[in-house]
Structure 1
């Protein structure tokens, strides 16, 4: 197939201070498509200090609107500028869809990171959450189930198939990892626990802090490092919780980190913990694994794919804080287990590359055209 002109809609770009794994994923596959001769344009939201338009890694970035207005701005910009100028549209869905099937005529691929589901209860008041959880599958059925879909894990694919998507229309392209960059390193001398992700309620960082209180009884010299965007109301609640539990002195909030400082935390930690309600996959799990750091996580969508239970980490029942604490303690206190999980995690990470991910994702796009 000749060079393709690919238009991507996503609510944020990877340069946004609030960017997460979804934005990393899009950046990594898009820049590889550019390298193989395709033309990629990303329409996304603005953030303080950003350029309205710029080109990075060969990807043309156009920004308009904010967290919520980006959706109608996208429709307006499409009608005035994009219509009939692209071969295919990749719509990234992060809870709120762009509803491109209602106004765009080009072939489309839906990049669905996760079905929001029970996460709504962590974001909205209960009456709103109940309505949102009921409406979400109806939206997918009405507007998206005939589209080619791209997902990051088998468990997300299973959820889409239950909604009504055709199994052969759903392509699984797990995230990749630069395993030469995310390499093995020296561990801290003290027992160290790492949380490295966005600090938002559905990630259940409060569960980790409560579990850490229990861990401290058996591992009194343990320390918890929390790496993620600072200054949120949720972070303030976490600090108050830690102070109330009497463990604030053993917890460090480092704010958002990238590059070498981020890698150093991944390398030095004895265990990485991600107690999310659900994930599309959990890129930080793979980054930690590549650095030889096992993960403790809840046995939920996405994380049950990225963490191989009792091989590269430990999965525990959702919402079971005692089990979370027990798993963390087990890894911190059992050196032989920790070394074996570390070796397995590194070996597991070596199976994944962004080249592989980009190739599968491009194949999904070609199937839509």
Structure 2
């Protein structure tokens, strides 16, 4: 059997070496608005390059990177804006400007690229989470209604014969609710990057961190409210907000209007070393996001023994956090405040969660994720659908073969 080839119950899968995989994504990691979804995308692309694939990422143009470049074997083609990237991607794929493509990965961040309309090549739909709650938060009126209709109705119909990849079982369940039927949703979790070494030790004063893009659905206001409600009880308490985004000015104004003063520190965009310094110094990470497919920051903080308090309803947090062991899941802003206050008071409990957070951060690796994603791509190239069932161990990446994790069905 050739290298890069895998056996399945119906025969050998298509080898990956020499295949051209095109990712259609609205952003890349160098985009100022890029985040965890883009980090996942580029990690999966790198895994395919390591297995002999030619990989192109088509994404929106921005001032922080050239229109075209090759980085670590991945060709980046940047055209269009936040919205026009979608028709630009379709034109590039349909016209052949991306070259001869063997497989398309259509990254559906609420809005898919609708690549199925212009190609007969296999399409894998990558979904981090369903945007039911986010459409009315980010957009208003008809735009939100049309966007949700496309995600809820049109996309499941258009991709009805396509393979899906979800980053969590919560996202897979949401896709099932939208009508994505049959054994064709593979779960490929995120990994965690190796820790960036910084001077060890927690801050002498209580510090809570928020790390991520500053956009409305991240609900950073909830973390600001929690810290301001607790600062009399915890003198010197600080909230460090790491990241930037188009909602940043509104958050600055919100903090000012609440009289936050020195209690809230906006770090802005920082380099990796500073980000990890914040993780290391923080006593807790707050993740009050409305929705998370997984939550990369949870594992990053866990590498520094910093447990996370997050909303259970966000979805992927129910898998990236072991509730009561590596962090705490809550249901309301009031519970977020109460839990943060309780953990700041209780050194022993916080230490126990810190140990669990560090252990949990090592449970998911990018090597595992890349291997699983490559299996999905191999199967899709061979016109085989892949599905995954829940693992017996919640920390076990769903990356096994038929009978123990993967289910294979030839189309």
TM-score range, shorter chain: over 0.9
Superposition pairs for residues 199-218 of structure 1, below 5 Å? 199-218=214-233
Counterpart for residue 361 of structure 1:
373
Which residue matches 1:90? 105
The alignment's TM-score, normalised by the length of structure 2, stands at 0.85
Aligned mate of 2:291, from 275, 278, 283: 278
Does 1:192 find its partner at 2:204? Answer: no
Give the alignment partner of residue 47 of structure 1, picking from 62, 72, 79. 62
- Give the match's secondary structure for 1:86: coil
Larger mean CA deviation between 121-130 and 330-339 belongs to 121-130
Q: What are the equivalent positions in structure 2 for 1:197-346 lying under 5 Å apart? A: 197-229=212-244, 232=246, 234-300=247-313, 301-317=315-331, 320-346=332-358
Describe the SS at the equivalent of 1:177: coil
> What is the alpha-carbon root mean square deviation over aligned residues?
1.8
- 1:348 alignment partner, SS class: helix
Q: Aligned pair in 2 of structure 1 residues 203, 167: CA closer, same or farther (>3 Å)?
A: farther
CA deviation profile, 1:120-159 (whole Å, cap 9, x unmatched): 1211225643554344210232112321111111100011
Separation in 2, partners of 1:43, 1:83: 8
SS of residue in 1 equivalent to 2:110:
coil
SS at match of 2:94: helix
Residues 57-72 of structure 1: matches in 2 within 5 Å? 57-72=72-87
Measured after TM superposition, the shift of residue 166 of structure 1 is: 3.2
- SS of residue matched to 1:292: coil
Give 3-state SS (helix, strand or coil) of 2:133's partner: helix
Name 1:172's counterpart in structure 2. Answer: 187
In the alignment, structure 1 residue 116 sits paired with structure 2 residue 128: no
The 8 Å contact of residues 8 and 90 in structure 1, kept in 2 or not, is answered as: yes
**CA separation in 2, counterparts of 1:49 and 1:258?**
15
- Change in CA separation of 1:42 and 1:210 when aligned onto 2, cut-off 3 Å: same
How many residues are paired up?
365
Unaligned runs of 5+ in 2: 1-14, 382-411
Using the size of structure 1 for normalisation, the TM-score is 0.94
Q: Distance in 2 between matches of 1:207 and 1:357?
A: 32
User: CA 1:83–1:158 in 2, change beyond 3 Å: closer, same or farther?
Assistant: same
| Equivalent position SS for 1:8 | strand
2:61·2:80 contact (CA, 8 Å) conserved in 1? yes
> After superposition, what is the alpha-carbon deviation per residue over 1:161-185, rounded to whole angstroms, capped at 9, x for unaligned?
1222235211111111123447893
Query: 1:264, CA displacement in angstroms?
Result: 1.1
Q: Following the alignment from structure 1 to structure 2, what is the Cα–Cα distance between the partners of residues 254 and 351?
A: 29
Structure 1: gaps of 5 or more residues: none
Q: Could you give the per-residue CA deviations for residues 209-255 of structure 1, whole angstroms, max 9, x where no partner exists?
A: 1122212132122100001116x3x3222222222222222111010
Residues 57 and 77 in structure 2, CA contact (< 8 A), matched pair in contact too: yes
For residues 85 and 147 of structure 2, the distance between their equivalents in structure 1, rounded to whole angstroms, comes to 20
Counterparts of 1:88-167 in structure 2, within 5 Å, are 88-125=103-140, 128-166=143-181
- The 4+ residue runs of structure 1 with deviation greater than 4 A are none
Bigger drift between 81-90 and 354-363 goes to 81-90
Residues 70-105 of structure 1, C-alpha deviation per residue, up to 9 Å, x if partnerless? Answer: 111111111222577121111111122100011111
2:111–2:147 CA contact under 8 A, matched in 1: no
Offset at residue 322 of structure 1 (A): 1.3
2:323 and 2:329 in contact (8 A); partners too: yes
Of 357, 363, 366, 1:351 maps to 363
